[in-house]
Chain A
Amino acid sequence: AQKVTQAQTEISVVEKEDVTLDCVYETRDTTYYLFWYKQPPSGELVFLIRRNSFDEQNEISGRYSWNFQKSTSSFNFTITASQVVDSAVYFCALRRSGGYQKVTFGTGTKLQVIP
């Protein structure tokens, strides 16, 4: 069985602060993909990033960065200099390889950025 844990249910930060959203996963597979999605108040989930289990390079995209550490089964997401537009629910997800495999989502972290 696989599992994705986002222990932070809600986080509030003041605008321009940095914030890290934690994601810890469990799987017995060696080949899988990890994803982050953003769900703004409008409701649709927006794909942010995917990471192959064999690629532990960190990634930076503008104010967003992701830290993948296989040794701790974590795929954390950091927003630098947060903005009000970053307010949303963020989901971490895992999908195994091999045939059809469903996506396992975490329960999400609600981020509120206060102006």
Chain B
Amino acid sequence: DGGITQSPKYLFRKEGQNVTLSCEQNLNHDAMYWYRQDPGQGLRLIYYSQIVNDFQKGDIAEGYSVSREKKESFPLTVTSAQKNPTAFYLCASSKDRAYNQPQHFGDGTRLSIL
């Protein structure tokens, strides 16, 4: 079964702690994305990567970091600099960066502060 796997499903962060959200895809997609979803809001882009070893900031990158060392993997680290990290995080991928390609999503990680 091809798809996107996000883990963990639920994550709790203590003050001053960095946490990493995992995103793995076996769709052989080039492009990957991280979104943040808050209640009553649309999805906001945190980071995206169009190809291995390359990534760009989205609209709300402050307090987050990513890496793209392998095509299949695009982990997101929520750093202690992100003062309001409580949200639902969605990872997505698309075949390439072309504008007509739909995005395929994982089932999300819900991050809360302890």
Give residues in A with beta carbon < 8 Å to B.
4, 9, 32-33, 35, 37, 42-47, 50, 52, 91, 95-98, 100-108
Contacts and interface: CB of A to CB of B under 8 A. Distances in A.
Given A50-B100, A91-B42, A91-B43, A102 B106 contact: no
B60 to A, nearest CB: 12
Contacts of B105: 37, 44-46
Interface in B24-62: 40-43, 45, 48, 50, 56, 58-59
Contacts of A103: 43, 45, 103
Given A43-B108, A102-B58, A32 B42 contact: no
Interface residues on B, range: 20 to 34
12 contacts: A9-B40, A35-B102, A43-B88, A45-B90, A45-B105, A46-B105, A47-B103, A50-B100, A95-B99, A96-B99, A100-B48, A104-B42
Contacts of A43: 88, 90, 107-108, 110
B108 A44 contact: yes
A92 to B, nearest CB: 9
Contact of B107 (A44, A95, A106): A44
Given A43-B108, A44-B106, A46-B105, A98 B42 contact: no
Contacts of A50: 100, 102
Contact of A100 (B97, B104, B107): B97
